[in-house]
Chains A and B, each alone.
Chain A
Amino acid sequence: MTGGKVAVIGEKQVVTAFKAIGFDTFYASTSQATTDIVRRLVKDNAYAVIFITEDVAKGMDETLAILKSRSYPIVVPLPALESNGYGMECIKKDVERAIGIDILFNKNE
């Protein structure tokens, strides 16, 4: 099946840190470049989890949507130095999709 490696894609400064704890890292600063890398990694089938920093993940909704329907690899937007809320946005979308209205977030807004 899928291999058990973990990848992190994002800006160089952020991603280097993950190299230190044994994740494989790839540098990309645009959504386009990231999409290419993700495609390659998915094809390789060696990675179980792919983290993408929120900044670059934001522009690649389409690719992420395709990957959401399969169990592996797991692609997760990762908050970097400051979060732009993309990850939370994804959770919110899921909730809306499943229940129809957002019941998790509107309480504290």
Chain B
Amino acid sequence: MSRLNVNPTRMELRRLKTRLKTAVRGHKLLKDKSDEMIRQFISFAKQNKTLREEIEGELRDALKFFMLAGAVMGEENIEQIFSMPSMSISISTGIKNIMGVDVPNLEILSTDGSLPYAITSVPSDMDTAILKLNSLAEKLLRLAEIEKTCNMLAREIEKNRRRVNALEFVMIPQLNETIKYIMMKLDENERSTIIRLMKVKSLLDKQEKA
């Protein structure tokens, strides 16, 4: 521990005491913030995990159908069919504030359109695949949103923890130490003044008697 390099004066003492008060209060607030962020983070992380698991399964399913259809039709045909996609998706992007962290907020505006091909020209597996994927789209975007939220919260929690630690283990001990040092110094000065006065008085007394 090291004390700050300040003059041991009453003014400095007062200043440091206010700083200590602020630091302690800030520390408490940041600690509360950290607790709440972790609570929220855990719930998001859990959602994230289940959502990802679901998507992994469903996507594999959908893509399997797609591959199957692709194997029947041949690669060029597939490319031709999808060269002019008729379905479109548009999303609106916003910002949501969670515990002071700006996280993205997606909203699907519309997913419209129909199958981009004549229904008789492709195997039915393709229809299944595309319908499945289409219903997955919303989930995928939701996953994106939650995953990003998790990322950003994790980062913020880490940053916040550093701040809390800096206050707890550096700032506050330093201030305490310095305050103690100044108080000792002031007391010492006071004592030496008293002694000096006593000495002077006894000297004066002696002179008077003589």
A3 to B91, CA, bound (A): 8
A78 touches B59 (CB 8 A): yes
Q: Which residues of B lie under 8 Å from residue A60 when comparing CB positions?
A: none
The answer to whether the Cβ of A36 comes within 8 Å of any Cβ in the partner chain is no
Q: Which A residues are in CB contact (< 8 Å) with B116?
A: 20
CB <8 Å contact, A17 and B63: yes
CB of B56 within 8 A of CB of A98, answer no
Flag if B66 contacts A71 (CB, 8 Å): no
On chain B, the number of residues with a Cβ less than 8 Å from chain A's Cβ atoms is: 58
In the bound complex, do residue A76 and residue B144 qualify as a contact, i.e. CB atoms below 8 Å apart? yes
In the complex, the answer to whether B154 meets A21 with C-beta atoms within 8 Å is no
Contact across chains for B155 and A104 when beta carbons are under 8 A apart? no
Q: Is the interface of B mostly helix, strand, loop or mixed?
A: helix
Is B93 touching A68 in the complex (CB atoms < 8 A)?
Answer: no
A interface, size bucket = 35 or more
Q: Distance in Å from the Cβ of A27 to the closest Cβ of chain B?
A: 11
Q: Is the CB of B145 within 8 A of A91?
A: no
Whether, in the assembled complex, A106 has its beta carbon less than 8 Å from a beta carbon of chain B, the answer is no
Judge whether B82 and A19 touch: CB under 8 Å: yes
Report the separation of the CA atoms of residues A21 and B89 in the bound assembly, to the nearest whole angstrom. Answer: 7
Instruction: Name which residue of chain A comes closest to B34, CB basis.
Output: A98
Per-residue CB contact flags for chain A residues 1-35 toward chain B (1 = under 8 Å, else 0) read 11111100000011011111111000000000000
Question: B17 an interface residue at 8 Å Cβ cutoff?
Answer: no
CB neighbours of A42 from chain B (8 A): none
| Residue contact A4 to B92, C-beta cutoff 8 Å | yes
Query: Are B89's CB and A22's CB within 8 A?
Result: yes
Q: How far is the CA of A2 from the CA of B90 in the complex (A)?
A: 12
Nearest CB of chain B from residue A44's CB, rounded to whole Å: 14
A-B residue pairs in contact (CB < 8 Å), sample of 6: A4-B91, A22-B87, A68-B151, A74-B147, A74-B148, A82-B60
A-B pairs, 7 with minimum CB distance: A22-B89, A98-B154, A94-B154, A22-B87, A98-B157, A79-B56, A22-B88
